[in-house]
Structure 1
Amino acid sequence: MVREPQRRYSAVPKRLRRLTVSATVTLFALMLLGAFLAPMAYMTSTALKDSTQISDTHQPLLPESPREVTIGGEQVPVMRVPVDGHVRELALVEKGRTESVFADPAHPDKRITWQGSWRALKPAYEFAPQWGNFSAVWKALNIPLLLRNTLAIAVLGAVGTVISSTLVAYGLSRFRVPFAPFILASLVGAIILPRFLTIVPTYAAWQKLGFVGTWVPLIAPHFFASAFNVFLLRQFFLSIPRELDDAAAIDGAGTLKTLWYVIIPQARPAILTVAIMHFLFAWNDFFEPLVFLTGKPDLMPFSVGLYQFLGLYTSQIPLLQAGALLSMLLPILLFLFGQRIFLRGLDLSGSSK
């Protein structure tokens, strides 16, 4: 009879430890999330400011400006004035060295004489976002043209890499390919190899073919499969039971029909993941468009156009941040709405039962 209460009370510290561990992990996750989102929040806040708000000694975190009101037909500043033990926001009507006259913004006719130097007071601030920064950047950057160019390069490249990578991964996962280990080792080596090492011979080859200054060098290579995408899709295809292929063969399905009606429906999350990953890669790609499209401003994507905008408006930090936010808007929306597909595509545990 004595042991039962001891067991019941001994479970309390165990639950407390579990709660402590869970709270610690949650707090750490929130801190990590805040660290990742802090630059994004600062960029958003800066994009909504103007040059005076950035150069202000107050350096407000939010887009705030010194508050002003109209009294007697004139714009006068609003100051934070200590009155009777409380800090009030009053409009500075008359400035003086030893005493100044203030007015209540809600009741302009009511005057308050305050003893002291008005220079020691701090101004009152109000939330004043500069939404015009985005419209200015939209016109200066020619966003519709950059958006058209970037979408064309990203979408066409995504279509090419999905088709080619699916076919190659299907062959490597379902058929006896000669020198398959060597091919897989070459794929891994191609993933590790930096593309900067091959840019010179690649540029020379495209120049000989006469395609420098066009979108062809940015789109055509993706129709010949990507090493990383082939490796990812092959691993996913290997997790699909071969019995499904045998059942399709018994029903008279050929190789391509098996791929279309059996493999692709099972591997749809992985294929969509490849498409999303390539779209984001092409959207953010800066090096190759800069190399192959030099001197062609009408064909430049978002990344290169934003870089040129950076050179023209170096001192206009809010405009630069507004342009960066506009360039990030579509990838962020794509990730938010496609994250479930993205996570399912990276799961190589197997197909649906």
Structure 2
Amino acid sequence: MIKKSLSFYIIYYILITIFAFVMVYPLLWLIGSSFKTHQEIFSNMTSLIPKKITFENYIEGWKGFGGITFATFFKNSFILSTGVTIGVLISSTMIAYGLSRIAFPGRNFWFTTIMLTLLLPGQVLIVPRYILFYKLGWVNSFKPLIIPAFFGGPFFIFLMMQFIRGIPYEYDEAASIDGASKYQIFWYIILPGLKPAIITSIIFAFYWTWDDFMGPLLYLNKPELYPVALALKAFADPTTITNWGAVFAMSVLSLVPIFFIFVFFQKYMEAGIATTSVSKL
């Protein structure tokens, strides 16, 4: 039985390792190709390790195009991602608190309406949104990409509401008896219990905004306003000879902020979930 169990685990871990390698192979190939010369990228496409490591792709790629370096594109991406993340956190936590804890006429109607928007394909909203923002004069600016986040996101509202419903309502009643207002209850009781949901929202909001391509493509026409996702597409010009090594190098750099955001906040998310679970036992 021991030999049989040992054989099972050996086969299991071998298969898991193979599947894991298949999953990360494209990423490893991207990183390896960013250090290859242009000739080696296409002459030795299956190899992950370059024959000769070169940093020329990173130097050339960082220069950007049209006199605009990738420092500008990264700055734009950070502005958009940070603005959307802050907007989503502020609005979604407050809306979720109101829908979960405050009784007002039409609460169920508004909650159902918000949830129904999750069923709408994003393509359906492209034309009406563009017309609205064009009428407001927001096209070719960051406003149509950041300001809507301050009015809540259905997914994040739903996520927050699930955590708020897990906080005993008796805490609110005890605070009210002590004279606490709705705002004080929200700040001192609800928000601390929302730590896991807040960390999760930060990860998803930042990640989705950083990788967003369609939004900037619709509303931004000036290259100096491009985020990294849109700049990479413009960098790979099909009408000319594309420097794929530089494209791969900038693609690798575009993954670095997302990687650090996830790794940095992951431990806080796990700690918050563990703390919440222990406090409820």
Change (3 A) 1:180 1:200: same
* Structure with a larger share of its residues in strand: 1
**Residues 1:169 and 2:96 aligned together:** yes
Change (3 A) 1:21 1:168: farther
Measured against aligned partners, the alpha-carbon deviations of 1:167-219 in whole angstroms (never above 9, x if no partner) come to: 11001111224344433332332112122111111111111111111111001
Q: Mind listing any 5+ residue stretches in structure 1 that lack a counterpart?
A: 1-12, 65-127
Measured against aligned partners, the alpha-carbon deviations of 1:64-94 in whole angstroms (never above 9, x if no partner) come to: 1xxxxxxxxxxxxxxxxxxxxxxxxxxxxxx
- RMSD over aligned Cα atoms: 2.4
CA distance in 2, matches of 1:58, 1:325: 17
Structure 2 counterpart of 1:272: 199
Measured against aligned partners, the alpha-carbon deviations of 1:244-283 in whole angstroms (never above 9, x if no partner) come to: 2122223221111111011111111211211221111110
Letter in 2 for 1:158: T
Measured against aligned partners, the alpha-carbon deviations of 1:95-150 in whole angstroms (never above 9, x if no partner) come to: xxxxxxxxxxxxxxxxxxxxxxxxxxxxxxxxx11112111111125121111111
How does 1:324-343 map onto structure 2 within 5 Å? 324-342=251-269
TM-score norm. by structure 1 comes to 0.72
Letter in 1 for 2:175: A
Change (3 A) 1:249 1:24: farther
Structure 1 counterpart of 2:227: 301
Cα contact 2:80–2:145 (8 A) shared by 1:
yes
**Residues 1:221 and 2:148 aligned together:** yes
The size of the alignment, in residue pairs, is 275
Cα contact 1:267–1:351 (8 A) shared by 2:
no
**Residues 1:27 and 2:14 aligned together:** yes
Larger Cα Rg: Structure 1 or Structure 2?
1
Aligned-pair distance for 1:54?
2.8
Letter in 1 for 2:237: G
Change (3 A) 1:199 1:344: farther
Cα contact 1:239–1:350 (8 A) shared by 2:
no
Letter in 1 for 2:58: F
* Structure with a larger share of its residues in helix: 2
Give the SS at the match of 1:252: coil
CA distance in 1, matches of 2:37, 2:197: 44
Aligned-pair distance for 1:34?
1.5
Change (3 A) 1:245 1:39: same
Structure 1 counterpart of 2:179: 252
CA distance in 2, matches of 1:251, 1:130: 67
CA distance in 2, matches of 1:258, 1:58: 59
How does 1:1-353 map onto structure 2 within 5 Å? 13=1, 15-56=2-43, 60-64=47-51, 128-140=52-64, 142-294=69-221, 296-311=222-237, 314-342=241-269, 352-353=279-280
TM-score norm. by structure 2 comes to 0.89
Give the SS at the match of 1:352: helix
CA distance in 1, matches of 2:167, 2:6: 40
Change (3 A) 1:42 1:207: same
